[in-house]
Amino acid sequence: CECFEGYSGTQCQDYFCNGIHYSSENVCSGHGICNNSRICDCYDNYSGEYCNSFFCFGYGERDPLACSGHGECIDIDSCHCLPNYQGHN
């Protein structure tokens, strides 16, 4: 067989997302699966081309409204609050 670009193997069964084999635990940043179109399908609460972004209480981690605008989103639904602020979000 001569495989299409992005596929390899004796029957063109192997493919990659961002250069990582589809079956690797590290594919899609470990937060999704690499489908046979070589696109990451992210698990819940993750987003981005390679599932390397996450959400804080419904907002993207870098959205100014994440953590009510008074902290930094450090993990899924987890904020590090600015001084004089406290709470979950």
| Alpha carbon distance 47, 42 (integer Å) | 6
DSSP states along 4-29: PTTEESTTS-EEEETTEETTSTTGGG
How high is the pLDDT of residue 5?
84
Q: Is 15 in contact with 7 (CB distance < 8 Å)?
A: yes
pTM for this structure?
0.77
What pLDDT is stored for residue 87 in this prediction? Answer: 82
Please report where in the chains the tokens 């635990």 appear, as a residue: 25
Tell me the average confidence (pLDDT) per consecutive run of 10 residues in the chain, 89 residues long: 87 91 95 94 95 93 93 94 87
pLDDT of residue 32: 97
The pLDDT of residue 78 = 94
Query: What pLDDT score was predicted for residue 66?
Result: 93
